[in-house]
Structure 1
Amino acid sequence: MQALVSKITALKRRIQYLESIPGISFISAATVIGETLGFESITSAKQLTSFAGYDVVLRESGSFKGKTKIIKKGNSHIRAVLYMPSMTCVRCNPTLKQFYQRLKPHKAKPIVALIAVQRKLLILMYTLWKNEVNYDPEYEIKKQQEPKALAAQDSIMV
């Protein structure tokens, strides 16, 4: 796979964007790109999560309230290849580690929180691929520190 990817410089460069995420290996990145055909027909993150089978379905009917589960009707290869990287990301990626630690106590089983990390990791891979940027571990911190203009303040200054 590496020999094939190294022949195409644009593909090699874009896979390196995905490998910049701590916990994502070449095999994981190449498999996700291969299964989605380079996100060619994917137009949104919601469509991607549905394609991979990470979208949540509610089991309700009338007064019956069932459990929410992922649908699992999507691409099982993507879900399988993201399992181990999500476990690594929970240990070494500060953003996803914090996300996992926040979800874990509220879920019945830790695997549910790990699946949420897999979904978030897939969306992160999609975003880096589309924007052609490397992973920035301080992105969330920078985003929170940005000054926010309030709509009420803008209308008073006019």
Structure 2
Amino acid sequence: VSPALAIRLCQDSGELGDIRRFDNAKTFAAFLGVTPKQRTSGASLRGRTMISRTGSKSMRAALYMPSLVAARHNPILKQFSARLLATGMAEKAVIAAVMHKLAHLIYGVIHTGKPFNPNYLAKGLAIQDGI
């Protein structure tokens, strides 16, 4: 997806508005309601972490199917979801984590104005190999 197309799609949405108004990807993910919510008090303290659901329900619904597709076909998100599943995380929780990661990737593409590069992490890892 080109940055221009992604910006236009985000601006066409009446709920989202201009994505560039967010200071960082973390605030964008929080606006969408795809951030993890920790339980910190009460009798159900031992419960699992869940998605916060503070944002728009329709925006989370719009991210659900792309997250499923990305977890199968995007090389970064495929490896990410496989790693989470291997640690014993529930499938729905993995989908929520992929939605969160996808929100960060969307923000990065639009913020930088560059197309998505699936090998962007490989550059940093090559430097760390010598350490």
Band of TM-score, shorter chain = 0.7 to 0.9
Partner of residue 9, structure 2: 30
Cα deviation 1:6-43 (Å, max 9, x = unaligned): xxxxxxx6344x49xxxxxxxxx825862321214311
Partner of residue 75, structure 1: 56
Partner of residue 143, structure 1: 124
Structure with greater proportional strand content:
1
The separation in 1 between residues aligned to 2:11 and 2:81, in whole angstroms, is 22
Higher deviation after alignment, 123-132 or 138-147:
138-147
Partner of residue 127, structure 1: 108
Unpaired runs of at least 5, structure 2: none
What is the number of equivalent residue pairs in this alignment? Answer: 128
The separation in 2 between residues aligned to 1:59 and 1:45, in whole angstroms, is 23
Q: CA RMSD in A?
A: 2.7
Partner of residue 56, structure 1: 36
Identity among equivalent pairs (%): 29
Unpaired runs of at least 5, structure 1: 1-12, 20-28, 151-158
Partner of residue 8, structure 1: none
Q: Which has the larger radius of gyration?
A: 1
Q: Give the secondary-structure state (helix, strand or coil) at the position aligned to 1:66.
A: coil
- Structure 1 moving runs of 4+ over 6 Å: none
Partner of residue 7, structure 1: none
The separation in 2 between residues aligned to 1:84 and 1:61, in whole angstroms, is 33
Report the TM-score when normalising by structure 1: 0.69
Sort the Cα spacing of 1:127 and 1:33 in 2 relative to 1 into closer, same or farther, 3 A: farther
Q: Give the secondary-structure state (helix, strand or coil) at the position aligned to 2:19.
A: coil
Report the TM-score when normalising by structure 2: 0.81
Sort the Cα spacing of 1:98 and 1:41 in 2 relative to 1 into closer, same or farther, 3 A: same
